[in-house]
Structure 1
Amino acid sequence: WAAVKGYRCVFTMPDKMSSEKVNALKAFGAEVVVTPTNVAAEDPRSYYETAKRIHRETPGSFMLNQYHNPDNIEAHYKLTGPEIEDDLRKVGLTLDAFVAGLGTGGTMSGAGKYLKERFPQSRNVGVDPEGSVYLDYFKTGKLVQPHVYKVEGIGEDMLCKAMDFTVLDDVRRVDDKQSFQAARRLAREEGLFGGGSSGSAIHVAVDLAHEMGKGKNVVVILPDSGSRYITKFYSDEWMKDNGFLDPTDRMGTVSDLLGGKKRTVYTVKPSDTAKVAVELMKRHGVSQLPVVDGDKPIAMLHEVDLLQALLEGRHELDEPVSAVMKPIDGVVTLRTPVSRLRELFAKDQVAIVKDGDQVAAIVTKIDLIEFLAARR
C-alpha cells in the first residue's frame, strides 16, 4: 500500500526475525531498522520504543501502533470473525473451540469476541509461547519477567491494549520445539506451509481436539507463511544447531520404512460378521484389520478386542464387527517421519498408512524394530 501510494515506510523489528522477512520488506522499498531482541519493551533500544522515536522525529508521520490501536480489534471483529462464521454456516457446522496465537491480541480479541457472540458454547483458547507474559497474566493477573524465545509473531514482553483478556476462556503454553516441529509436520503431512506461530497454534489445537473428543469442531488460525522461514526452522541444519531436531527425525519417512514395496492390506466392512474377520485374521496371520467404508478407513478391528467380546458373551460370531470396532488412533502418510511412529505406538498397536484416501499399508511395532535393526 505504501509502495503504491509513494509513501516512505519504516519498519522496526527485533534481530531474531528471519532474513526472509527483512528482505521481503526491502524488496517493496521499505526501510527496516533492526533492534536488539533481548531488551525490555520500555528500553529505548527496543523495536517498540525505536518506532516511537522515529515517529517523533519524522514530521507528518503516522505510527500504526498495532499493539494498542483499537482498530486492530475492530478489523478482526468486522472481517475475520464474520468470514469464519460464514464458512462454518455454509457447510452446516457449529463451533466448539476457536484457537489463535496471542501477539498484539487483535485476532483473538476481535474474531474471538464475534464468534463467542454467534456460538456462545464455543471456547476461545489463546496460544502463548514460553517466555511471553500472557499466560501468567491471564491465570494470576500478575506480570512475570519475560525471556527470549525464537518463535516469531506471537507472545509479548508487555501488556497490549489490543489484548482483551475477557474474551478468553483459556490460554495454553507452547515452546519453540513444539512450535517448529508442528509446523514442519503440517507441511509434510498436510501440505500446509505455515510459519512458526502456525505451528504453535496447531500444536495446541490438536491437543485440544484430543481432549474434546470426536464430533467437535475446532477452528485454528494459521497467520503466517512458511516462505518466511526457509533458512530457519525449515532448515534441518538450523534445527540441529538450535537443538530442536530429534535425532530420529533423520531416520527417514514411513515410505523409507516400507522400502517402496506395496503391501496387501486386508480389510473388513462394518457389516461384515465377526466370523469373516476371524477367518481373514487366521488365513493371513494378522491381528488387526482396518474397517473401511468403500476405500476409506473409518475404524480398526483388533484381535484382542474381538476375543474379549466373544469371551464375555457381548458378541457372537454371526454379528457385525461394527459393535466391537475401535476408533483409529494412528493414521500416517508415506511422508510421515519415522520418529512419529514412536508416539503413535504408545497409543495403539499399529499405524495405518494412507495414500490419499486409500489404505496403503499397516505398520506394526515389529516393522519399526526390523527397520531400525537393518540400519545398524
Structure 2
Amino acid sequence: MKCALCENEQSRASFAPIPSKKVATIILLSCLARYNVITLEDAKKHYKDVFVSRKRVCKNHFVQAVMFLGWEIEQLSGEFPLNGISEAPAIVMNSLLVHLRKYRGLLDDTMPMEKKDVREFFNEYMVEFRDEITQRISTPNSPEEELFLKANANFDLKKEEESTSQIVIKEQLPEISDGRDTDSPAFFVPKEEIEGQGVSNPSSVNYHMPQSSASSSDEGDVFSEHEPRMTCVLCSVAYPISQMKVASRVPQRNILFLASMLIKGVIKVEDAVRIYSEFRRTQKRCCKKHYLEAAIFVQQELKKCPGCLPNEARLPRFIPMKFLQLLKERGDLIDKDVVLNATDVASFFRECLNKYHNGKEWELVEEMETSSQQSAPTTRVGSKCNFFFELKDILLASANRSDRI
C-alpha cells in the first residue's frame, strides 16, 4: 500500500485510516505542514482528496503529529504529556489553538476547531501509539526533533549577532527594553490573550500559588496569588513566572550564561551540558537572579581591565582577550560547535543592561519568595542556595572580590 501523504509503500499493518472527523484530519495535516513533514500545498491537496475514497496514511504521521504537539506542550508546562492533555490548563490549550487555527483557516475556514477537538485527537493517538512515542521522544537527534528545532528557530543569527572576529566594540547606549523577553517562541500565546490571563509568556508552568496576595516583580508588574509558578531549570525552585526569564534562542547567549555560572562554581560541567540541551529543545526558564548574577560577574571581569568599562551603564569599549578566552574554554565544555566572539559577550551584557540596570545601578526584586505550601526542593545542581540572597549582598561580594584583585 502507498501512504496518501508521503506515498511510501509499506505493509498494511503500518497504515491507519484517515480520522472520521474532518477536524481531526485538519489537526493532523496542520501539524505535519507546520513542521515541514509535508508542504502546505500538499496539505491542501490531500485534505480535498482523502475523504473521496477513505484513504490510509502511515501510522508514523500520527506519531509525528502527537510528538510535535507534545513538545509544544512541554515548552509551556515543562513536561511531555505522556498521560494525555485532559487536565491541561486553558492557557496551554489556547496556545496550541493559535497555530492550529491558522492552518485550519488555510485548509478549511468553514470547519470549527475547539479545545476539545485537540484534546480528543492528542489523547486518542497518544494512547494508541504510546510505546512508539515514548521511545522516539527519548531518542536524541531524531528526525522529528530536528524538524521541531528548525521550525522554531525562526530567527536570523546573522541579524542577531555580527559575524566579526574584532575585539573592539563600539560604545553605545543600551537599547530601550519593554521588559518582555524577545527570545520567546513565536507560537506562544498572543499578548492580548496573555494579558487576559494575567501572565507573561508561560514556559514551564507550575501551578503552585504564592502565599501573599500580591507582590511586585522586577519589571514593575504586579503578580497576584493566581499567577502560575514555574520551576527554575538551574535551582529547581518554583517562582511566579514574572520573576523568571525564558532561555534565549540564540545559542551563544545560552553558552555565555552557563559558562558564567560554571566559572562562578554555581553549576558543574555535567549540569551545564544537560541544561544547555534542555534550553535547546524546550525553551526552559531560569530565575532572573541567575542572569543578574551572570551580568554582575561579566561586569566585574570587564572592570579589571583599565579603560574597558568607563561607564557601567553602557557597553564596554572592548572585550579583554583573556576574559574572552576564559569564556571560550568553558563554552567548549558545553558545546564545541558554538563559537563565541567579542560581539556575543557585548550582546549578552547589553541584554542584561536593558533588563536589569536602571542607568545607575543593577535593580531587581529584593527577594523572590518561594511558596510556603512546600519547602524548596533539593536542587539538581547541588545545594547552591547562596545565590538567592539580597541584591546588596551580591554587589558587596562582587566589590570585595574586585578589591582583593
Q: TM-score, normalised by structure 1?
A: 0.28
Relative to total residues, which structure has the larger strand share, 1 or 2? 1
**Structure with the higher helix share, 1 or 2:** 2
TM-score relative to the length of structure 2: 0.27
User: 1 or 2 for the larger relative contact order (CA 8 Å, sep ≥6)?
Assistant: 2
Q: Which one has a bigger Cα radius of gyration?
A: 1
